[in-house]
């Protein structure tokens, strides 16, 4: 992402980069985030440029601390930006409501990235409802250029209203690229001293002011440059879009030759809605199609506007022409527009040969080559098998969430939101005192541990939980791209900071703590069996760094199969290394009928050597780690 | 003028970097470019693709409609087929790396990977022209398997659908790489470029 001050110059920019550039052009003083895809990259990029550009960027322990830090920076009239994904915004719940009541001084912008179709999430929650609930203004860009332009606008608006502003983006914005013409990077504004009687206090007597601010936002939105109307004036057929909908609609209208007869109102200001602007177009229309990401948010609020104005207009969208779940794409929008217009599909019937296809194998997600989680779940499953499969495993959110699939031997029974595993386990484990007769195991990663497991662990300790809690410590926030967390000793700006030890933290609470290496398969399995049999709260920390991260610094050892030893399908193991272990580095040589290592994929961890019953897998230097 | 290119493969093959560099080179030349990255949790071995849309007048949405790819560039054979079936049409051109990456289900023995001959036959039947390239092998020969993505961009640039030449791409490479890495990237780009120009079609 360019930090050059060259207004008017055009670059290809990713949406996440555009957020960074927008923050820079908005004169940001403070940026904070907890990583969450699709916007995980934003703070990392801000961290890289922060020192040179004279602002502070930090990874926060979780989304709530991130937003609260931004509120602090805003108090001194600093401009602050908080970047989260939809779950992070929900994690903000209390803070955003109380914060909105108290208002802000310096501009405070929250960017929330939704993930329609849940490409890299467990859900496709719609952030927009939060703006309504907290009574704060909300914007949503329709292109990468608008994303960049909206951030400085949101800072200005936030200061004008003394209110935080939410900018909602979606995966196709964050991970789309488009041309962006740069604006100017301003000088950093000095801070304002906080006086004896200055206050930022969220208290109910401000409720009226909160709503007044919202009405002032509505007035600003009536004339905002982020709402555009194109197409026929006074159109009878009107399509209203939010976010990514606009470009799909434009292409669909061209496809069906209807771009002249339909009006398209693209709304960038989503809450409070610019009612006068909407009514101006709505009152001329008899039939409206609303195209937006995830919930029928605009559809329902616009229906309410039409209802209050007693308009006789048919409004369609997510309720009928567009599926009520999943993201927008050309197929969904083309079909909806076609049905809305009442035209025939353009079929490629001729020219599309009917070809019998070969079987294409599915490419399911798996742990990376050399991932320690593969070993951890392999061991856990073996230990539970030894205990007659009675153990119940409560999972959490991270790379290891994939353990619910084949990659992790279908390794857990329960998974919900971040930090939930340990507390759900605590509740379940308490029932063992009342006749529930199954051992309970909970899991979390190291980043999740700091994010939201600590209060759960304290709760488990205080209530004398009967559980085994396993921390899968791979020294990384791996799922989102290796962002630093409190245990890594790194900050977003690249400085070193004192590492917080998970072991020491657990011990300080009085927990009994064990540490093991998941690559010591046999030893760790025996330890887990022992711990499952013990009463009370036990914490086991499985330590082995993320393979993808380690591969960047560690010298790769050669791992190979000694084909004189491997007995191939004649061995009773039935292809244990490739079939059960399931590392992409362990492949099967169908010609030679024996195991093999894919040297391009293998990271050289050597863990597979310890599971081969014949000892045919060899590691350079003889060390399996 | 409007060209739609799907660049596909599996996570970790440098698909997103390649499409970003190609897009940047085209923007430098004044084209309107949109790129969509479908990544998911693709770092973990899933299928991944980028949509590159180049136009001389309008910046499009970031996704190519089904059946409208002019070119499919695949870093893996079955991924070529997977994408071609959905985004291809009889006029589509295909460039693909012939090195298979086996999915988990195949390694476990629950699923079968089709033969390269069958894959090639279906790709041919579904496209106007196809270019099988041992790109990873050629990249390893040049010094590093990881630059296969740039080799494939060289091959892409050699097609008439792409309005750019090696020098246009090198400008962007020079902004992003230095020293040995830059030289290696330039070298493999030309390996791919020449391979197509000299006729690698089947």
Reference B7, options B101, B57, B70, B100; nearest CA is B70
CATH number at residue B105: 3.40.920.10
Give the chain A residue whose CA is nearest to the CA of B24. A12
Task: Please give the residue range of the domain that contains residue B176.
Answer: 2-197
Residue A353's pLDDT band (cuts 50, 70, 90): low
The confidence score (pLDDT) of residue A623 equals 52
Chain B closest-CA separation from residue A602 CA (Å): 12
| Domain presence at residue A5 | no
Same domain, A382 and A480: yes
Q: How far is CA A513 from the centre of its chain?
A: 31
Chain A closest-CA separation from residue B81 CA (Å): 8
Same domain, A179 and A47: yes
Q: What is the mean pLDDT of residues B118-130?
A: 96
Task: Tell me the average pLDDT of chain B.
Answer: 92
- Residue B39, pLDDT > 80, answer no
The confidence score (pLDDT) of residue A476 equals 85
The confidence score (pLDDT) of residue A349 equals 46
Q: Which of A41-55, A261-275, A406-420 has the least mean pLDDT?
A: A406-420
Same domain, A241 and A160: no
- Final residue before a domain boundary, out of A547, A569, A602: A547
- Residues of chain B with C-beta less than 8 angstroms from the C-beta of A36: none
- Residue B42, pLDDT > 60, answer no
- Final residue before a domain boundary, out of A547, A581, A598: A547
Same domain, A519 and A564: no
The confidence score (pLDDT) of residue B110 equals 85
Cβ distance B41 to A402 less than 8 Å, yes or no, reads: yes
- Residue B108, pLDDT > 60, answer yes
The 10s digit of each residue's pLDDT in A13-36 is 999 999 999 999 999 999 999 999
- Residue A11, pLDDT > 60, answer yes
| Domain presence at residue B97 | yes
- Residue A625, pLDDT > 50, answer no
| Domain presence at residue B202 | no
| Domain presence at residue B94 | yes
Q: What is the mean pLDDT of residues B138-144?
A: 93
Q: In total, how many domains does chain A have?
A: 4
Task: Please give the residue range of the domain that contains residue A587.
Answer: 559-622
| Domain presence at residue A351 | no
| Domain presence at residue A355 | no
| Domain presence at residue A210 | yes
- Residue reference for tokens 């771009």: A259
Same domain, A207 and A292: no
Phi, psi at residue B2, to the nearest 5°?
-150, 120
Same domain, A155 and A286: no
In terms of C-beta distances under 8 Å and separation of at least 24 residues, what long-range contacts does A342-345 make, across chains too? Answer: A343/A256, A343/A258
Cβ distance A361 to B24 less than 8 Å, yes or no, reads: no
Same domain, A295 and A440: no
Reference A451, options A424, A486, A416, A422; nearest CA is A486
Chain B closest-CA separation from residue A362 CA (Å): 7
Q: Which two tokens stand for residue A251?
A: 């292409």
Q: What is the mean pLDDT of residues A371-379?
A: 95
Cβ distance B81 to A357 less than 8 Å, yes or no, reads: yes
Same domain, A296 and A427: no
| Domain presence at residue B114 | yes
Give the chain B residue whose CA is nearest to the CA of A576. B108
Residue A366's pLDDT band (cuts 50, 70, 90): confident
Q: What is the mean pLDDT of residues B45-50?
A: 85
| Domain presence at residue A196 | no
Cβ distance A364 to B105 less than 8 Å, yes or no, reads: yes
| Domain presence at residue A362 | no
- Residues of chain B with C-beta less than 8 angstroms from the C-beta of A402: 41, 44
Give the chain A residue whose CA is nearest to the CA of B148. A600
Same domain, A510 and A378: yes
Q: What interface predicted TM-score (ipTM) does this complex get?
A: 0.93
Q: Which of A38-47, A180-189, A355-364, A610-619 has the least mean pLDDT?
A: A355-364
Same domain, A306 and A379: no
Chain B closest-CA separation from residue A71 CA (Å): 32
Q: In total, how many domains does chain B have?
A: 1
Interface test with A, best of B19, B62, B127, B169 (most A CBs within 10 A): B62
- Residues of chain B with C-beta less than 8 angstroms from the C-beta of A600: 136, 140, 145
| Domain presence at residue B52 | yes
The confidence score (pLDDT) of residue B44 equals 62
Cβ distance B34 to A177 less than 8 Å, yes or no, reads: yes
Same domain, A217 and A235: no
- Final residue before a domain boundary, out of A527, A547, A567: A547
The rounded percent of chain A whose pLDDT value lies above 70 is 98
The confidence score (pLDDT) of residue A624 equals 47
- Residue A415, pLDDT > 60, answer yes
CB pairs under 8 A between A and B: 176
Cβ distance A358 to B119 less than 8 Å, yes or no, reads: yes
Q: Which two tokens stand for residue A126?
A: 């719609």
Cβ distance A353 to B126 less than 8 Å, yes or no, reads: yes
Helix A275-282 and helix A297-308, axial crossing angle in degrees, nearest 10: 80
CATH number at residue A49: 3.40.50.970
Give the chain B residue whose CA is nearest to the CA of A120. B40
| Domain presence at residue A361 | no
Task: Tell me the average pLDDT of chain A.
Answer: 94
Same domain, A507 and A449: yes
The span from the CA of A467 to the CA of A486, in Å, is 25
Q: Which of A305-314, A473-482, A591-600, B98-107 has the highest mean pLDDT?
A: A305-314
CATH number at residue A294: 3.40.50.920
Residues whose CB falls within 8 Å of the CB of residue A524, separated by 6 or more in sequence, listed in order = A379, A516, A517, A518, A542
The span from the CA of A47 to the CA of A51, in Å, is 8
- Residues of chain B with C-beta less than 8 angstroms from the C-beta of A587: 102, 107
| Domain presence at residue A87 | yes
């Amino acid at each position: 992402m360019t930090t050059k001050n060259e207004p008017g110059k055009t670059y290809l920019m990713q949406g996440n980069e555009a957020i960074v550039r927008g923050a820079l052009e908005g004169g940001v003083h403070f940026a904070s985030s907890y990583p969450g895809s699709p916007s995980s990259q934003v703070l990392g990029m801000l961290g890289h440029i922060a020192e040179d550009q004279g602002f502070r960027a930090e990874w926060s322990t979780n989304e709530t601390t991130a937003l609260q830090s931004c509120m602090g920076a805003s108090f001194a009239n600093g401009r602050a930006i908080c970047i989260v994904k939809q779950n992070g915004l929900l994690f903000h719940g209390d803070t955003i409501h109380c914060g909105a009541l108290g208002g802000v001084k310096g501009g405070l912008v929250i960017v929330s990235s939704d993930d329609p179709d849940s490409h890299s999430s467990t859900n496709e929650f719609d952030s927009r409802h939060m703006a309504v609930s907290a009574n704060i203004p909300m914007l949503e860009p329709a292109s990468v250029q608008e994303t960049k332009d909206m951030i400085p606008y949101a800072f200005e608006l936030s200061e004008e209203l003394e209110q935080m502003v939410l900018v909602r983006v979606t995966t196709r914005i964050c991970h789309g690229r488009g041309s962006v013409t740069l604006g100017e990077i301003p000088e950093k504004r000095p801070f304002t001293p906080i006086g004896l009687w200055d206050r930022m206090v969220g208290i109910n007597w401000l409720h009226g002011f909160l709503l007044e601010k919202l009405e002032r936002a509505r007035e600003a939105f009536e004339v905002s440059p982020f709402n555009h109307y194109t197409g026929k004036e006074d159109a009878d057929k009107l399509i209203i879009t939010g976010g990514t909908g606009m470009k799909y609609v434009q292409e669909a209208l061209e496809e069906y030759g209807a771009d002249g007869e339909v009006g398209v109102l693209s709304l960038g200001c989503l809450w409070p809605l610019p009612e006068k602007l909407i009514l101006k177009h709505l009152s001329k229309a008899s039939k409206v199609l609303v195209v937006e990401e995830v919930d029928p948010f605009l559809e329902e609020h616009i229906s309410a506007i039409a209802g209050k104005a007693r308009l006789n207009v048919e409004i369609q969208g997510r309720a009928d022409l567009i599926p009520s779940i999943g993201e927008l794409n050309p197929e969904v929008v083309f079909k909806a527009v076609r049905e809305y217009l009442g035209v025939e599909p353009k079929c490629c019937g001729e020219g599309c040969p009917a070809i019998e296809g070969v079987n294409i194998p599915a490419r399911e997600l798996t742990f990376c080559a050399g991932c320690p989680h593969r070993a951890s779940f392999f061991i856990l499953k073996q230990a539970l098998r030894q205990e007659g499969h009675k153990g119940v495993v409560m999972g959490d959110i991270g790379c290891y969430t994939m353990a619910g699939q084949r990659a992790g031997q279908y390794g857990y029974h329960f998974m919900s939101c971040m930090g939930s595993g340990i507390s759900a386990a605590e509740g379940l484990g308490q029932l063992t005192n009342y006749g529930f007769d199954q051992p309970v195991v909970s899991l979390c990663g190291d980043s999740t541990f700091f994010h939201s497991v600590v209060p759960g662990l304290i709760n488990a300790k205080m209530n004398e939980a009967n559980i085994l809690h396993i921390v899968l410590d791979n020294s990384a926030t791996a799922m989102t791209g290796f962002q630093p967390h409190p245990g890594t000793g790194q900050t977003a700006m690249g400085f070193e900071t004192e590492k917080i030890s998970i072991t020491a933290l657990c011990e300080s609470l009085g927990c009994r703590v064990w540490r093991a290496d998941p690559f010591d398969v046999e030893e760790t399995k025996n330890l887990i069996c022992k711990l499952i049999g013990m009463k009370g709260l036990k914490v086991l920390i499985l330590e082995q760094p993320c393979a993808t991260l380690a591969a960047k610094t560690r010298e790769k050892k050669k791992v190979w199969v000694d084909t004189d030893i491997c007995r191939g399908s004649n061995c009773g193991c039935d292809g244990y290394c490739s079939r059960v272990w399931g590392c992409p580095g362990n492949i099967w040589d169908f010609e030679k009928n024996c195991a093999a290592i894919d040297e391009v994929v293998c990271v050289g961890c050597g863990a597979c050597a310890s599971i081969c019953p014949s000892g045919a897998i060899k590691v350079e230097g003889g060390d399996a780690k | 003028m409007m060209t739609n290119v799907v660049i596909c493969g599996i996570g970790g093959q440098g698909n997103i970097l390649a499409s970003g560099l190609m897009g940047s080179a085209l923007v430098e030349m004044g084209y309107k470019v949109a790129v969509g990255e479908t990544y998911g949790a693709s770092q973990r071995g899933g299928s991944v693709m980028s949509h590159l849309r180049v136009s001389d007048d309008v910046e499009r949405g970031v996704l190519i409609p089904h059946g409208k790819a002019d070119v499919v560039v695949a870093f893996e054979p079955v991924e070529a087929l997977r994408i071609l079936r959905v985004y291809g049409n009889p006029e589509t051109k295909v460039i693909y790396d012939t090195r298979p990456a086996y999915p988990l289900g195949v390694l476990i023995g629950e699923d079968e990977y089709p033969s390269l001959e069958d894959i090639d036959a279906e790709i041919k039947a579904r496209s106007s022209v196809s270019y099988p390239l041992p790109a990873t092998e050629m990249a390893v020969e040049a010094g590093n398997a990881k630059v296969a993505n740039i080799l494939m961009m060289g091959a892409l640039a050699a097609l008439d659908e792409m309005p750019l030449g090696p020098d246009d791409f090198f400008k962007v490479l020079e902004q992003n790489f230095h020293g040995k890495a830059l030289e290696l990237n330039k070298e493999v780009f030309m390996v791919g470029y020449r391979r197509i120009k000299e006729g690698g079609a089947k």
